[in-house]
Amino acid sequence: MPAYLDSILAAHRAVTARDRRDPGATVDAARAHLEAVTASGGPDAPRDFTAALLTGREARGMAVISEIKRRSPSKGDLDPDLDPAVVAADYEAGGASCLSVLTDGEFFGGSPADLGAARGACGLPVLRKDFTVSALDVCDARTMGADSVLLIVAALDDAELTSLLALARSLRLAPLVEVHDEGELDRALAAGADLVGVNQRDLRTFEVDRARALRMGERMPAGVVAVAESGIRDAVDVERLAGVGYTAVLVGETLVRSADRTAAVDGLLGARA
């Protein structure tokens, strides 16, 4: 099986290494870049990503983070010509609590422009879904208007995870810390994560294990906002995940491929209204 995560991370770290704005990806250089952008007009104030998830969970028994992506390394093209503004509005109409927007161009066909267009078309908080490997990546998420940033435990060492988690919070971004197994969950909690995503897709093989989130949900401590990611197909899956304490589900392929995305989001929530 191809090692997707390794090749994607190598590409992202190579970009960071040759980026003249911040060759060492230092926090000071990244903050200076953000301050310069903010001084010239800057992004809007962040929307509260975590609060939106909690509100959605209270209102309908589960919050949905609906994803906008054009393609994936394992599935190929999903909808390469989608209009992110139209898709965002459809998701909001269906009852989504938040959006996830892929901004990686090489592997997923996304861009910062997709995030900006999606956020501008709705009132939902938006996660920048990308492979964050440096302080500059976190600051770039803020400058492009994201409200949340993804930190993948498998992609970071403990020092990087702790540093980027603190930086994101200082910029009023909600850090969604993604884990794939019990060891990674322990590392996330030790770093202070309180918004944790359990990805059922193995990022090295891209295979999905739909029992993973159920198993991991039982280990999630009280006070952690838990998000189940990948492999979620219908209201039955959502019901099971709600039963083990998840606050939200992040759903991409099922929704992107749907002929009626508004109805597809609503359908995930079943009779929970």
Catalytic positions, written as ranges: 67, 69, 129, 178, 199, 229-230
**Torsion angles phi and psi, residue 207, rounded to 5:** -80, 150
51: Cβ contacts below 8 Å, ≥ 6 apart: none
C-alpha 75/C-alpha 88 separation (Å) is: 22
C-alpha 123/C-alpha 169 separation (Å) is: 21
Question: Strand, helix or coil at 157?
Answer: coil
**Which among 208, 212, 216 has a CA at the least distance from the CA of 188?**
216
C-alpha 68/C-alpha 225 separation (Å) is: 22
Would you put residue 76 in left (φ > 0), alpha (ψ -120 to 50) or beta?
A: left
Task: Report CA torsion sign: 165, 207, 249, 139.
Answer: positive
